[in-house]
Each structure stands twice: as C-alpha cells, then as structure tokens.
Amino acid sequence: MSSKTYMAKPGEVDAQWHLVDAEGQVLGRLASRIAGILQGKHRPTYTPHVDTGDFVVVVNAEKVRVTGRKLDQKVYHRMSDHPGNLKTIALSKVLAERPENVLTLAVKRMLPKNKLGRHMLRKLKVCVGPTHPHEAQNPQPLAL
C-alpha cells in the first residue's frame, strides 16, 4: 500500500478574501500571521513551490501598535547605488506619513525573497482608515 503526497497545482487553488482590523494589534505579530495566510500555511494543501495563499485586506493600518521603544529607535534604510545616498527614516515619521508602508514592509520581509514572494505580496491590500475598496470581493473577517 503506497500513499501519495498531495501537491497543489496553480489552477486548483481557490483564493479566499480575509479582512483584518489592525487597530490595537502588535505590528510584528500581526505581520507574521498575515505572512502565513499569504503563503497558504493555514491550509492543509500548503505546497511550498505553489502560491496557495489567500488575499488579505487590512484596515486601520495607522492604529497598529509597536512595543518597547521602537517608535524612537527603529529606523528604515533606503539606498541607491550612488555614493552618499543612504536615507534613514524613523519609524515614527513613516507611521505618521505613510502608515500602510510600515505593515507592508514588515510583511514583505517575512515572505520568500523570490518571484513567488513578490506574487504573494501583491495579494496584500493595506488601507488607512476603516473603509476599503474591496467590498465586491466580500472579505470575511479574520480574528487574529
């Protein structure tokens, strides 16, 4: 008796839509749960080389919580290949100006660093405020 291991194929995956409220959630914990859902690790049919994940819509991104002294100490670096072009921006400034970028970057850095990871990141929709433009997809609330 031989048992076969099931491997999902790209055409067989039916992606669902999830709605996450980021209000009061800790940034890193929220990002790791979202990264797992984007990868499809919450499904029994998870296959590493196939995108078996779901779509995630995050609302209230500006109300995400950070612990410790990260608001003062954490910085983001950006660098082009030109000498002397290192840009350093504090977390508090990014959270004030573009709060959706904070959560997007946290999730992006938890996904695989290849084509599949970039494809997974496109399924993340982060919105500032309680409304989002994806009502037609009927996202189901997800309790994290």
The confidence score (pLDDT) of residue 1 equals 60
Domains belonging to the chain, first-starting first, are: 15-141 (3.90.1180.10)
The confidence score (pLDDT) of residue 59 equals 97
CB 15 within 8 A of CB 123: yes
The confidence score (pLDDT) of residue 97 equals 96
Q: Which residues of the chain have pLDDT under 50?
A: none
The confidence score (pLDDT) of residue 144 equals 81
Spatial separation of the C-alpha atoms in residues 11 and 47, rounded to whole Å: 13
The confidence score (pLDDT) of residue 3 equals 80
Bridge partners for 56 per DSSP: 18, 124
